[in-house]
Amino acid sequence: MRGGSCTCELSAAWRAACCTLLLAGGCRPNHAGLAAPSPTVAARQPQIFIADWANHRVVRVTGLHGEDWTTCGESGPVDLRYPVGICLDSSGRLYVAEQEPRLHRLDQLYGAGWVTHQLEPEPNRPPNRHLGCWVCLDRSGRIYVSDGGRHRIVRIDDMSGAGRVSLGSAGSGERQFHHPAGVWVDSQDRLYVADFDNFRIVRCNDMQGTNWTELGRYGSGEREFINPAGICIDSQGRIYVADQGNDRVVRIDDMRGANWTTVGSFGIGDAPQRLYAPTGIAVDRAGRIYVTQCSSNHRLVRMDDMSGANWTVFGGGGVGSGQFASPLGVFVRE
Amino acid sequence: MTPIALAGLACWLCGQAAEQPPQIEVLRAAVGQSLPLLQAGAQSFRERSEGRCISCHHQGLILTTVALARSRGLAVNENLARAEIERVRGFYARRQQRYQAALEDSAALPQADPFGNFTVHAGYWLWGLAAENVAPDEALATTARLLAARQQADGRWTFTDTARAPMQAGDITTTALAAFAINRYGPAADGESRDERLRRARQWLLEEPPQTTDDLAFGLLGLKWTGAPDGDLQAAAARLRAAQRSGGGWAQQANMPPDAYATGLALFALHEGGTAVTDPAWRQGLSHLLQSQQPDGSWFVRTRAIPSNPYFESGFPHGKSQFISYAATCWATVALTLALPVGSPVGRE
């Protein structure tokens, strides 16, 4: 992440090189619009959007070999600082939430239609030192952002900030969060939250916290999590959690934890079924699972299902094409 | 644990039931296992990181752990101890110009503190150097001046780097350690007196609500180190004692199980705050540590820090949890050592 408690001189050099490259670059190498993907590409592969946190950019690829690699944010018209959460609306517009509670919307990756909204314009606000802000939309296009540093979820109607309402305060009880991270809204507009430092996931019906339901406690067994980060729901309503501290992906049928299924265990590198700090998670219509790893694995993993079949790895640490620096949020557009 | 230590522990636990003081042999056996492992771990970290990294896990806590062990007459590898001291001193000597530049022009701060964690490592490491009675020099004074200058208007010290719970996670810990460091090594940075800085830090610590055991423990330490009156120390100690679990240990957070990191830290803080090592609650904490020591002499604590640096095996056990387990083993060793009599000749080599 930003550096960690280990003060690494190699990291400093790497960062310096990183900055040099980023300053020299722009949005590269392609400037394809979000709303009009290449028909041939779109027919073949879903588009994968990744928040490339420490490279201060978002990346779009159309396959796990880096096809149609397109980036935005490290320089040029769009200024991103530590992007965390990422999603698209039904019109294909891209939403990016940063480490600090700043939200962006772009019509196209090269910056057209770029709109920014500062969620918390507080000059003396302490820095958000945890897992940053994640974003998702409901069926009406309302925007939900997890404000981890303030232990709450914020919803706004649109990028003007209209209709702002928040849910949560610091704590571990009902309607409370401790550094909430991933957010998702299902087809019934129910809100799901990965409650990072409460070691649980939460579901509620609305921004009043109605029908507050929680699952999980600290641990590595069934119905247990260690710092869950990303969360998403598939077309069958099953819940997927990037169980970051347990280096595994969890899938459950419901908020009781039925059919608890996991894939992954700690490992460095590309070996199948090995994960290190899985953070962002997404599922496509075919049920394929996409997972980012914010650790030194710096990779995106895709698997066909929870058996880990066709385990495919893309990426590696760095600033170039096909490389990431602590990738976090991931979103798949089909 | 070794059979000897187990037998000793069983004997001591019987003694504890009768409110007898812990047997020195049991404590010596436990520390005799952990201390060499810690010193070797610091050396292998240095070697395997090929000089690239310096870590608060190893450099800050190991200095204090070794210094305390020496004060109790325990065998210490002095060559390794000196190497750790020089490693920290060298780090700050190499950065003296950058720190001086940041003192003269805040625009130079990003070069002095590229990751936003200067306040954290300066606090831990100067605290460790003080434990080793390292005399102030120009580089350390410059470091302390920059640390003083980083105090916020409300009295706290903070950081902008990503949190790495529990060691680098909250401003109470950072403030307590920074206050200690400037008190020991720092002249005033910008005309404000050291006493005034400590007063502002103390006031902030009194007003900031603790969330974690790190907050509770370093809140107590910070009040002690900033000269708070006895009433405030007793109130802070009572809050920390209230977080003790029935088994004698402390947890990092209310929703976690007890572990050696939180327990060792809590015992150290209570001791600094005036609790005697013969206090029944303090002894229960010690018992928790003795029972949870691993056969290799370490204590295992599961990591929950968001990983940020390239992974490598430092040579200390427990894989991806090696760094928090190292810190936990330091704190546990510190607590066990505190229960030994000062200047005990036992174990001196």
Lowest average pLDDT, out of A137-141, A255-259, A292-296, B29-33, goes to A292-296
Distance from CA of B224 to the nearest CA of A (A): 25
Contact assignment for A197 to B57 by CB distance below 8 Å: no
Chain B contact probe: residue of A1, A2, A6, A10 with most B CBs at under 10 A: A6
- Residue B107 buriedness (CB in 10 A; 0-12 / 13-18 / 19+): exposed
Contact assignment for B52 to A172 by CB distance below 8 Å: no
Count of CB atoms situated within 10 Å of the CB of A65: 11
A189/A201 Cα distance (integer angstroms): 16
More confident residue, A16 or A270: A270
Chain A contact probe: residue of B309, B314, B318 with most A CBs at under 10 A: B309
Contact assignment for A317 to B310 by CB distance below 8 Å: yes
Q: What is the pLDDT of residue A120?
A: 75
Of all residues in chain A, the one with the smallest CA distance to B45 is: A6
Lowest average pLDDT, out of A53-57, A111-115, B142-146, B221-225, goes to A111-115
Residues facing A86 on adjacent strands: A96
Residue corresponding to tokens 């969060």: A177
- Residues 6 or more apart whose Cβ sits within 8 Å of residue B113: B102
Distance from CA of A226 to the nearest CA of B (A): 7
Give the torsion sign (CA, B261, B165, A124, A16): positive
Contact assignment for A5 to B310 by CB distance below 8 Å: no
| pLDDT tens digits, one per residue of A62-80 | 988 889 999 999 777 889 9
ipTM attached to this prediction: 0.89
Contact assignment for B320 to A7 by CB distance below 8 Å: no
Q: What is the pLDDT of residue B20?
A: 56
Confidence grade of residue A42 (pLDDT, cut at 50, 70, 90)? very low
Which tokens sit at A332? 């798949």
Q: Give contacts of A6 with chain B, Cβ < 8 Å.
A: 53-57, 308-309, 323
For chain B, the C-alpha Rg in angstroms (whole number) is: 19
In angstroms, what CA-CA distances link B327 with B45, B64, B195?
13, 11, 31
In the predicted structure, residue A228 carries a pLDDT above the cut 50: yes
Q: What is the pLDDT of residue A178?
A: 95
**Would you list the DSSP string of A57-119?**
EEEEESSTT-TT-EEESSSTT---SSEEEEEE-TT--EEEEESSSEEEEESBTT-TT-EEEES
Q: What is the pLDDT of residue B310?
A: 84
Contact assignment for B309 to A244 by CB distance below 8 Å: no
Q: What is the pLDDT of residue A19?
A: 29
Distance from CA of A74 to the nearest CA of B (A): 18
Rounded to a whole number, what is the largest CA-CA distance in chain A? 51
Contact assignment for B120 to A131 by CB distance below 8 Å: no
Chain B contact probe: residue of A7, A224, A279, A294 with most B CBs at under 10 A: A7
In the predicted structure, residue A17 carries a pLDDT above the cut 60: no
In the predicted structure, residue A21 carries a pLDDT above the cut 60: no
Strand order in the sheet with A115-118: A83-88, A94-98, A102-106, A115-118
Contact assignment for A4 to B161 by CB distance below 8 Å: yes
In the predicted structure, residue A13 carries a pLDDT above the cut 50: no
Displacement of CA A230 from its chain's centroid (Å): 6
Residue corresponding to tokens 């174990």: B347
Residue A11 touches chain B, beta carbons under 8 Å: yes
Of A129, A296, A317, Cβ closest to residue B162: A129
Distance from CA of B82 to the nearest CA of A (A): 20
Count of CB atoms situated within 10 Å of the CB of B345: 8
Q: What is the pLDDT of residue A18?
A: 32
Q: Give contacts of B245 with chain A, Cβ < 8 Å.
A: none
The pTM for the full model equals: 0.90
Q: Give contacts of A226 with chain B, Cβ < 8 Å.
A: 302, 304
Closest CA to A85 of A73, A74, A94, A96: A96
Collect the ranges in chain B with pLDDT lower than 70. 1-22, 50-52, 56-57, 188-191, 344-349
Of all residues in chain A, the one with the smallest CA distance to B320 is: A266
B286/A75 Cα distance (integer angstroms): 55
Of A1, A10, A317, Cβ closest to residue B52: A10
State the average pLDDT over residues A163-180.
96
Contact assignment for A15 to B53 by CB distance below 8 Å: no
Which tokens sit at A133? 């802000």
Is residue A295 within 8 A of residue A253, CB to CB? The reply is: no
Contact assignment for B306 to A277 by CB distance below 8 Å: yes
A 192-221: CB under 8 A from B: 197-199, 217-218, 220
Of A6, A172, A199, Cβ closest to residue B309: A6
Distance from CA of A243 to the nearest CA of B (A): 11
Confidence grade of residue A212 (pLDDT, cut at 50, 70, 90)? very high
Q: What is the pLDDT of residue A28?
A: 35
Of all residues in chain B, the one with the smallest CA distance to A6 is: B55
What are φ and ψ of residue A239, in 5° steps? -105, 130
B220/B214 Cα distance (integer angstroms): 10
Q: What is the pLDDT of residue A12?
A: 35
Q: Give contacts of B307 with chain A, Cβ < 8 Å.
A: 4, 276-277, 294-296
Confidence grade of residue A23 (pLDDT, cut at 50, 70, 90)? very low
Lowest average pLDDT, out of A7-16, A71-80, A124-133, goes to A7-16
Of all residues in chain B, the one with the smallest CA distance to A269 is: B311
Q: Give contacts of A247 with chain B, Cβ < 8 Å.
A: 320
Count of CB atoms situated within 10 Å of the CB of A68: 17
A 58-97: CB under 8 A from B: none
Distance from CA of B344 to the nearest CA of A (A): 35
| pLDDT tens digits, one per residue of A90-104 | 999 999 999 988 999
Q: Give contacts of B304 with chain A, Cβ < 8 Å.
A: 226-227, 245
